[in-house]
Amino acid sequence: MRPFAAVAVGLAISAGCSRQGDPPAEATSFFIGVDQATLPEPARSTVASAEKNIALVLRGQPPQCEPDVSSAISDGGTITYQCNGYALTVVQRIYQLGDVFGAIYGPVVEFPGGDFQIAHTRFYSNEELRALMDPGNGL
């Protein structure tokens, strides 16, 4: 495990740049400005599936795709799932931020061709990650 001072610096800088200390508004879609109804198939179903699985992972639940057990990394639990039209890696990497032990956790979606990824990872303390992963968390 290694401390990551740059994250703390980045957090301090971004906190100072936000308007009146308000956090940025959460988007309801991970594909901003895309009207899914106008997408041709199979793009429409791929985008809908990716959004559904991203949301599941953000709630601490496994995605509804086939796990690629050969992709498992002993870094805290990172594993890649093969979904219809994309790969979804659930990053769960042991990390230390100052004196706080925890993990970097969240989904990373990669589409065929590897030309772009959508990632939504965050640092969670051990306690917060356990609470997120608790089946009774109500999320």
* Structural domain total, the chain: 1
Provide the residue range defining the domain that includes 98: 5-19+39-133
Q: What is the pLDDT of residues 35-74, one digit of tens each?
A: 999 999 999 999 999 999 999 999 999 999 999 989 888 8
pLDDT (0 to 100) of residue 48: 94
What is the C-alpha to C-alpha distance for residues 45 and 85, in angstroms, rounded to an integer? 9
What is the C-alpha to C-alpha distance for residues 51 and 128, in angstroms, rounded to an integer? 23
Q: What is the pLDDT of residues 91-126, one digit of tens each?
A: 999 999 999 999 999 999 999 887 788 899 999 999
**pLDDT band at 130; cut points 50, 70, 90:** very high
Task: Classify residue 25: in a domain, yes or no.
Answer: no
Q: Which helix (H) or strand (E) holds 56?
A: helix 43-58
Task: Classify residue 76: in a domain, yes or no.
Answer: yes
Task: Classify residue 91: in a domain, yes or no.
Answer: yes
**pLDDT band at 138; cut points 50, 70, 90:** low
What is the C-alpha to C-alpha distance for residues 3 and 79, in angstroms, rounded to an integer? 23
